[in-house]
Amino acid sequence: MRPSELFAAAGKSKKAKAKSKEKGKSAKLAEESVAMARSEQAELKALRAELGKKGHKCSKSELMRVGLSLLLAQKPAQIAKRLGALPVLAKAKKK
């Protein structure tokens, strides 16, 4: 245990110490590039602005993570139906 963790743990109750051990380390980050239509990008920006007005500031990354969690709650047939309805995008040119 690091010295800073010892000092922080000294003031915690047994319950709080148990919770912090359960929490463990945070997940490692991975970066991903996503292609989307400009209209979809504008919709994300508008959604972020609307959430910000209501006191829920978030990043595009956080919105994408929420979207993924909602997607994972769907049945594969529902996802396939939505995939079929997506417009085809032109491939991005490599720089």
Write the pLDDT tens digit of every residue in 25-75: 788 999 988 889 999 999 999 999 999 999 999 999 999 999 999 999 999
* Assigned domain for 53 exists: no
* Assigned domain for 76 exists: yes
Q: What is the pLDDT of residue 5?
A: 52
* Assigned domain for 33 exists: no
User: Is 2's pLDDT higher than 80?
Assistant: no
Tell me the mean pLDDT in the region 12-33. 70
* Assigned domain for 78 exists: yes
Domain count, the chain: 1
Look up the domain containing 70 and give its range: 58-86
Instruction: For the full predicted model, state whether its pTM sits above 0.85.
Output: no
User: Is 3's pLDDT higher than 90?
Assistant: no
Q: Using CA atoms, how far apart are residues 12 and 18, in angstroms rounded to an integer?
A: 10
* Assigned domain for 65 exists: yes
Q: What is the pLDDT of residue 69?
A: 96
Which pair of structure tokens corresponds to residue 79? 């996802």
Q: At how many degrees (to 10) do helices 60-72 and 38-53 cross?
A: 100
3-state helix, strand, coil in the chain (%, to 5): 60, 0, 40
* Assigned domain for 70 exists: yes
* Assigned domain for 74 exists: yes
Tell me the mean pLDDT in the region 9-24. 56
Q: Using CA atoms, how far apart are residues 89 and 49, in angstroms rounded to an integer?
A: 25
Q: Could you tell me which residue, 15 or 49, shows the higher pLDDT?
A: 49
Q: Could you tell me which residue, 33 or 5, shows the higher pLDDT?
A: 33
* Assigned domain for 12 exists: no
Q: Using CA atoms, how far apart are residues 14 and 19, in angstroms rounded to an integer?
A: 9
